Amino acid sequence: MFGANSSSLTPKFFILNGVPGLEAAHVWISLPFCFMYLIAVVGNCGLIYLIGHEEALHRPMYYFLALLSFTDVTLCTTTVPNMLCIFWFNLKEIDFSGCLAQMFFVHMLTGMESGVLMLMALDRYVAICYPLRYATILTSAVIAKAGLATFLRGVMLIFPFTFLTKRLPYCRGNFIPHTYCDHMSVAKVSCGNFKVNAIYGLMVALLIGVFDMCCIAASYTMILRAVVSLSSTDARHKAFSTCTSHICAIVITYVPAFFTFFTHRFGGHSIPHHIHIIVANLYLLLPPTMNPIVYGIKTKQIREGVIKFLLGEKVAFTQDP
């Protein structure tokens, strides 16, 4: 089970236990997760296709939405199929290298998801505060560079997780009480000192999550000031309505994220472990499931595109900033 080197004991594989304490209910727990995953895949792939297919949706707001959809569907695909294998077929083993790879992609993609939400807030700021310069500021080149920068930020900040985790000695065993390889869940299996992992994880959370939240808050503060200064009630309503989908996406993403982060570090003994595991899975599944639904309901242009696609009718797209 273990392969030794000069500095540590490295397990050949880990065993993911699923949801500890609820093993008898694994099949029932899997059903809503499977349903949510199917909705996430169909909804996000549908959004990506619709935005790519409809020329009227070739605008910065929808490019960022397509990037968010791609990130979301990739994120949940890194964990859910493996989780369903645990629940349905009791296939709990995961190769050590595979575990590190899953850990990297989970944290990199969640960081990228946060970054894309921040970029979407900046998009709404430019659209509402500088509507006449919107197309010239957010060009295709700027959007591509912003997306690439968000991706590279995630890769550079998360990649050290793999080295910090790999260096630890795993002499206590190889059982991980989780459904996927989370950084701190893996580190806590170690019999070594993982304080560096905890400190670096906190630093990354500050550099990604807190930074993005501050940018989002600053963007919406300036948006609110600009909207309040409008004299027309209809203009204020229209400006706010273009932000509602994004605000819903922020709430859906950050509420379970902060719950998972803080309970993992500060409330581990006061909250049952199976609750923490379920919420951690919802944190990865809820945004990919709900974002296509929210944007489909709240965004008129996407509703019109779906109707056009399903019915084969010509629909005149409404143009918003």
CA–CA distance, 182 with 264 (Å, rounded to integer)? 11
pLDDT at 6: 35
- Among residues 143, 184, 133, the alpha carbon closest in space to that of 60 is found at 143
pLDDT-based confidence at residue 241 (cuts at 50, 70, 90): confident
Q: Which domains does the chain have, with CATH numbers?
A: 14-307 (1.20.1070.10)
Q: Are 158 and 108 in contact (CB under 8 A)?
A: yes
Sorted by sequence, the CB contacts under 8 Å of residue 143 that are 6+ apart come out as 60, 63, 64
Q: Residue 291: is it exposed, middle or buried by C-beta count within 10 angstroms (0-12/13-18/19+)? A: buried
- Rounded average pLDDT over 62-68: 96
Work out the angle at residue 162's Cα, subtended by the Cα atoms of residues 10 and 279, and round it to the nearest 5 degrees.
Answer: 100
HSE-CB for 246 with a 13 A CA cutoff: 24
pLDDT at 18 over 80: yes
pLDDT at 38: 97
Kindly state the percentage of the chain with pLDDT values over 90: 66
Sorted by sequence, the CB contacts under 8 Å of residue 181 that are 6+ apart come out as 14, 16, 94, 99, 100, 102, 103, 106
pLDDT digits (tens, 9 = 90+) for 226-238: 988 887 888 788 8
The structure tokens 């979407």 sit at 120
More confident residue, 10 or 265: 10
CA–CA distance, 119 with 64 (Å, rounded to integer)? 7
Specify the range with the lowest mean pLDDT, choosing from 3-17, 71-85, 150-164, 188-202. 3-17
CA–CA distance, 270 with 267 (Å, rounded to integer)? 5
Q: How far is CA 210 from the centre of its chain?
A: 15
pLDDT at 5: 46
pLDDT digits (tens, 9 = 90+) for 194-236: 999 999 998 999 999 999 999 999 999 999 999 888 878 887 8
pLDDT at 316: 52
pLDDT at 4: 43
pLDDT at 315 over 80: no
- Rounded average pLDDT over 152-160: 97
pLDDT at 273: 82
HSE-CB for 8 with a 13 A CA cutoff: 17
pLDDT-based confidence at residue 140 (cuts at 50, 70, 90): very high
More confident residue, 300 or 41: 41
CA–CA distance, 283 with 253 (Å, rounded to integer)? 7
pLDDT at 309: 78
Q: Residue 139: is it exposed, middle or buried by C-beta count within 10 angstroms (0-12/13-18/19+)? A: exposed
Q: Are 2 and 11 in contact (CB under 8 A)?
A: yes
Q: How far is CA 313 from the centre of its chain?
A: 34
Give whole-number Cα distances, 167 to 16, 43, 191, 193, in Å.
20, 40, 12, 10
pLDDT at 83 over 70: yes
pLDDT at 313 over 70: no
